[in-house]
């Protein structure tokens, strides 16, 4: 931990010295403000391959291409962040809401396979995505259904084992035991 603090201190000192060199007439407040602006420390460019060449991900693209251009780097970043967990048993949770809307089936399958390759635990909502692709070795599915006139939601449980989707019966519910006192 002490080495980490020293490395951070050295990094910040280097940033401040760089600001002083670039602007000899500046004030300490200006040096610190510029040096501690983390947005200037690194620059990342996200590109996608289109028609055999690399183009900026921000350029013209379909809705699905834009979803993938943003999602894939985020999945990689989440996996990298979780790799720093103190325990190998720490959850690696990613929660996605309608994550692959507008993405074709082949690309959704590859993206879900990528989540598996990154060893991420995924909870996902979707109006129509079942995630039953060969790239996904297993997934538990809870299909929610409701009728407008009924104030309840029906939950149907499914499971994908990498080759087939099967329906599971509702768990057996046991009545609450009698209270020990009244």
Q: What is the pTM of this model?
A: 0.64
String of DSSP letters for 92-153 = -EEEEESTTTT--HHHHHHHHHHHHHTT-EEEEE-SS-----TT---EEEEEEE--TTSS--
- The mean of the pLDDT values for the chain is 86
Range of 55-64, 85-94, 166-175 with top mean pLDDT: 85-94
> CA 16, CA 37: separation in Å to the nearest integer?
11
Does pLDDT of 1 surpass 60?
Answer: no
pLDDT tens figures, 53-84 = 888 877 777 777 777 888 888 899 999 999 88
pLDDT tens figures, 125-152 = 988 899 999 999 999 999 999 989 999 9
User: With bands split at pLDDT 50, 70 and 90, how would you rate the model's confidence at 119?
Assistant: very high
The residue-averaged pLDDT of 12-40 equals: 85
Q: Are the C-beta atoms of residues 116 and 137 closer than 8 Å to each other? A: yes
The residue-averaged pLDDT of 79-97 equals: 90
Does pLDDT of 2 surpass 70?
Answer: no
Task: Give kind and range of the element (H or E) at residue 165.
Answer: strand 165-168
């Amino acid at each position: 931990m002490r080495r980490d603090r020293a490395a951070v201190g050295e990094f910040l000192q280097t940033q401040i010295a760089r600001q002083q060199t670039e602007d000899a007439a500046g004030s300490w407040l200006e040096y610190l403000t510029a040096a501690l602006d983390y947005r200037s420390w690194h620059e990342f460019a996200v590109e996608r391959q289109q028609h055999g060449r690399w183009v900026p991900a921000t350029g013209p693209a379909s809705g699905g291409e834009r979803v993938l251009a943003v999602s894939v780097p985020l999945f990689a970043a989440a996996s990298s962040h979780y790799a720093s967990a103190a325990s190998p048993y720490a959850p690696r949770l990613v929660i996605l809401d309608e994550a692959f809307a507008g993405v074709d089936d082949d690309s959704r399958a590859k993206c879900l396979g990528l989540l598996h390759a990154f060893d991420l635990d995924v909870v996902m909502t979707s109006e129509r995505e079942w995630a039953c692709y060969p790239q996904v070795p297993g997934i538990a599915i809870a299909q929610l259904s409701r009728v407008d006139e009924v104030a309840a939601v029906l939950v149907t449980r499914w499971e994908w084992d990498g080759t087939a989707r099967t329906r599971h019966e509702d768990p057996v519910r046991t009545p609450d035991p009698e209270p020990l006192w009244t």
